[in-house]
Amino acid sequence: MTLYDYPGCPFGKKVRIVLAEKELSFDTKIVDLAKGQQRGDEFRRLNPFGKVPVLVDESCIIYESTIINEYLNDEYPHPPELLPEDSAEKARIRLLVDYADRAFTLPAMAIERELGSPERDEARLAAARESVTKCVAMLERELTGKEYLSADFCLADIAFAPALLHLGRLGITIDASVPNVHAWRARLTARPSIGSLLKLVA
């Protein structure tokens, strides 16, 4: 099994968390996005959209982190099962994963880009921060009376984790003002699969 990835990519980190939870061994091939390796013909044969991550499992080639993670959960169901059995709850978790990707991770990436840009777009930065802040408020409500976003640790928790770990560097604090999210973040980082990523965002 080989994961094509870039170290700073939060979507690649999503996949790495699932691989760790499933206790799967894999090789890593770094695709240097700064050098444009994702646009090369060799990589586009794996993913015509030219994006990381890509997982190659024997003859199976999968791209898009959410699809990769569902494949890993289906193909390697134990340990642990990362989607609930109930169809309605499974749909809710999939909606949360999509929300995490679109309304949390992408805006967090936009904040990072704007903060590092010599020509910062303040309007774009403010819009991205508002999206992340709204998402944190939604998570605070979703986590009321819960340890995780479903009855057990699941793909939705994993989808939020990489950007969540990174928020401090973006000037967004997860503290006692959002006690459910604060406690959830502590539970997530206590898991070896997620805690190991902290060094990548330190």
In tens, the pLDDT along 148-191 reads 999 999 999 999 999 999 999 999 999 889 999 999 999 999 99
pLDDT given for residue 202 in this prediction: 40
pLDDT given for residue 200 in this prediction: 52
- Positions in the chain short of pLDDT 70: 198-202
pLDDT given for residue 159 in this prediction: 98
pLDDT given for residue 73 in this prediction: 97
Q: Is 63 helix (H, G, I), strand (E, B) or coil?
A: strand
Which domains, and CATH codes, for the chain?
2-75 (3.40.30.10), 87-201 (1.20.1050.10)
pLDDT given for residue 201 in this prediction: 46
Q: Which long-range contacts (CB under 8 A, 24 or more apart) does 167-172 make?
A: 167/108, 167/132, 169/112, 169/201, 170/108, 170/111, 170/112, 170/115, 170/132, 171/111, 171/115, 172/111, 172/129, 172/132, 172/133, 172/136
* Residue type for position 174: I
pTM of this prediction? Answer: 0.94
List, by residue number, the catalytic residues.
Answer: 9
